[in-house]
Amino acid sequence: MSVAINEPVPDIELPATGDKALKLSDFRGQRLVLFFYPKASTSGCTQEGLDFTAAAADFAAANTAILGASRDGIKAQENFKTKQSFTFDLLSDKDEVLCKAFDVIKLKKMYGKESLGIERSTFLIDEQGTLIQEWRGVKVPGHVDEVLAAVRALG
C-alpha cells in the first residue's frame, strides 16, 4: 500500500546526512518537497540536486523544505552532499522502507538487462503531512521549476 494524494504520509525515520535521523513529521508546519533519485553522484541525480540547490532560497521563501532520498548508504550520501554543496539533507533508504511507502521501486531496463531501481519521483507534502502532489517518471530538465511553480501556486 503506497501513499495517495490527499492522504497523510507515513512517519518513517531514516538516517540522514549531517549525522542525523530524520522523520517526515520533523517538517510539520512547513511544506516538504521529497525527491527520490536513482543513485548518488550520477549525472542526472547530480543535476537534479544542483537544480534544487539553486532554487533553495525560493523554496524557503515559500515555507518549503527539500529532502532527497535514495537507496545509497549514508557515507555515499554524505560524500554526494558535500561534493555538490547541496543545501538540504539526503536520506539513506538502504532497506527501501520509504521507497516502498511511496512506490518508487520499479522494474527498469538498461542495456537489455532488467533490474529493480528507483523511478525518479518527487512528492509535495503539505504543512500537516498530507501528500498534495506527485511527479513520477521525472525528467530532470525543467523539473525543479515545475515543482517550484506548484509550491508558489499554493500561496
Whether 142 maps to a domain, the answer reads yes
Give the CATH number of the domain where residue 21 resides. 3.40.30.10
| Closest of 35, 12, 44 to residue 135, by C-alpha | 35
For residue 152, the SS3 value is helix
Q: Is 79 helix (H, G, I), strand (E, B) or coil?
A: helix
Kindly name the residue from 45, 67, 138, 147 that is annotated as catalytic.
Answer: 45
What's the pLDDT score for residue 1? 61
Q: What pTM was computed for the model?
A: 0.95
Residues 6+ apart with CB under 8 A from 125: 9, 24, 27, 31, 32, 33, 34, 131, 132
Q: What is the DSSP letter of 42?
A: S
Q: Is residue 85 part of a domain?
A: yes
Mean pLDDT, the chain cut into blocks of 10 residues (155 residues total): 90 96 96 97 94 98 98 97 97 97 90 90 97 96 97 94
User: Does some domain include residue 116?
Assistant: yes
For 119, phi and psi rounded to 5 degrees?
A: -85, 125
Which amino acid is located at 150 in the chain?
A: A
* Residue 131 burial (C-beta neighbours within 10 Å; 0-12, 13-18, 19+): buried
Q: Evaluate whether residue 2 is within a structural domain.
A: no
Residues in the chain: 155
Per the CB < 8 A criterion, the answer to whether 108 and 19 are in contact is no
Total domain count, the chain: 1
Q: Grid coordinates representing 102?
A: 511511496
Task: Name the nearest CA neighbour of 49 among 83, 13, 12.
Answer: 83
Q: What is residue 112's predicted lDDT score, i.e. its pLDDT?
A: 87
Say if 110 falls within a structural domain.
yes
Asked if residue 6 belongs to a domain, the reply is: no
At residue 36, the 3 state secondary structure works out as: strand
User: Is residue 99 annotated as part of the catalytic site, yes or no?
Assistant: no
